Structure 1
Amino acid sequence: MGEWLRPWLLLPLISLLGACTTIQLEPLPEGMTDQPPADWTERATQLSRFDHWQLMGKLAVRQPSDSGTALINHWIQNGEAYDLALSSSVLGMGRTALKGVPGFIELTMPNGDIYRSGEPEALVEAATGWHLPLTHLTWWIRGLPAPEGDFRLLFDEGRQLAMIRQAGWEIRYDRWQQFLPDHPALPSKITALKGDKRVRLVVSEWRNLEPTR
């Protein structure tokens, strides 16, 4: 599915990365700049093409409605399609599975109940109490802004991406790591903040599932 969609997804992203966005942030946080390094466009293009992957790690959510942690048994991304398996005592002992594409999700609860919806974020929040920006996270977890909507990129003194502001969220890149050879460094710890909501992802492993061309 992701293969034939990729050209029209990639072109808008590259266009957005070079465009002036409307999100304003004054003053800039100390030690940060909104001027991208010289290799940013090339690095972002590489990351946008990296759309068949698997990661494992941990998810922590702190929100007024509910808080807790979950193991990410796997998050498999195949183009636009995702398969996310979580284990959490908050969600119930056992595994909770989220499978879908933008605009559709199938949620399987630990007791075997299956729910389907055309509004992924609303269904996850109704079922678990957690507000997870699933569609945007597919991009943010790689260190990219989502192609839909305005955004602001901030870089640290080492010229590494430190923050994305988009869709009302502030995504902070706390740690990067060279997980894969011949690929740019990938995030190993990110924190997404929106008002009194916080989502933290710690990645212990990235795998390349790129199909043979």
Structure 2
Amino acid sequence: MLLSAFPPGRTWHLLRCSLMFGLAMLVSACASISQDPLPAGLTEQPPADWAQRQNMLSNLDQWQLNGKLAVRQPGENASAVINRWTQDREQYDLHLSSSFLGMGRTELSGSPGFIEIRMANGDEYRSSDPENLISAATGWQLPIDSLVWWVRGLPDPGRDYRLLFDEQGALAEIRQQGWNIRYERWQAFIADTPALPARLTARKGDRLVRLVITNWQPL
């Protein structure tokens, strides 16, 4: 209806201008992304064996680890011992011990899009929004659904991501959902399996989550 108000020649001119403007904006946006400088010594070019490594780690979906977890956010610095983190495909069972806010022994069980939290005092909470429930129950900002992937050195496949590799071809950083996940140490925990993260730090604004893994074994 709007286009019919103009003569045919005028209509085509308007369409052409609109298309050229849209194309110019798209090129400009692409250029701004490509000009985003990379940290020194890092590249987006994956090593030749990355696809094989990614496939092997994706297939590692039944495991158990032990270690420590630290959370830092405005006004709070907290840590917990990971007594046991058991992963059975999509189902996780995470047992924590912490004196922070009197949490004591806390258990987080769930799968993508669902979580159940059992507190030391016997209280139980369930939600289809894991991150918000963890925040409400413990005060911690913990992206648990994505952490299941990050802890193996993999991006969450359900969300956009950017991978950065170091000069030796090791994964150095994942950028996803506004989080920067940096891999600071790798270790060959499991025979015939690529090295797994032994220490990683995830940052988003003024929030930080750090994981140190001391033991990792398949189930």
Decide: shared fold, TM above 0.5. yes
Of 83, 94, 104 in structure 2, the residue corresponding to residue 94 of structure 1 is 104
Residue 145 of structure 1 corresponds to 155
Q: Equivalences for 1:58-207 in 2 at 5 Å?
A: 58-92=68-102, 94-207=104-217
Matched, 1:32 2:42: yes
Aligned CA RMSD, in angstroms, stands at 1.2
TM-score by length of 1: 0.85
Question: Do the aligned partners of 1:58 and 1:203 also contact (CA within 8 Å) in 2?
Answer: yes
Deviation at residue 94 of structure 1 after TM alignment? 2.9
Question: Do the aligned partners of 1:91 and 1:110 also contact (CA within 8 Å) in 2?
Answer: no
Deviation at residue 149 of structure 1 after TM alignment? 1.5
**Gaps (5+ residues) in structure 1?**
1-22
- Counterpart CA distance in 2 for 1:96 and 1:25 is 45
- AA of the residue aligned to 1:86: L
Q: Which has the higher contact order (CA 8 A, sep 6+)?
A: 1
- Counterpart CA distance in 1 for 2:69 and 2:35 is 28
Superimposed CA distance per residue, residues 87-111 of structure 1 (whole angstroms, 9 cap, x where no aligned partner): 0000426310000111111100111
SS in 2 for 1:131: coil
Question: Do the aligned partners of 1:67 and 1:130 also contact (CA within 8 Å) in 2?
Answer: no
Question: Do the aligned partners of 2:93 and 2:110 also contact (CA within 8 Å) in 1?
Answer: yes
Counting helix residues as a fraction of each chain, which structure ranks higher?
A: 2
Deviation at residue 78 of structure 1 after TM alignment? 0.3
SS in 1 for 2:109: strand
- AA of the residue aligned to 1:67: N
- Counterpart CA distance in 1 for 2:35 and 2:65 is 32
Residue 10 of structure 2 corresponds to none
TM-score by length of 2: 0.83
Question: Do the aligned partners of 1:47 and 1:144 also contact (CA within 8 Å) in 2?
Answer: yes
Moved more, 56-65 or 200-209: 56-65
Larger radius of gyration: 2
- Counterpart CA distance in 1 for 2:103 and 2:165 is 40
- AA of the residue aligned to 1:69: S
Aligned pair in 2 of structure 1 residues 93, 150: CA closer, same or farther (>3 Å)? closer
Superimposed CA distance per residue, residues 166-199 of structure 1 (whole angstroms, 9 cap, x where no aligned partner): 0110000000000011000000000000000000
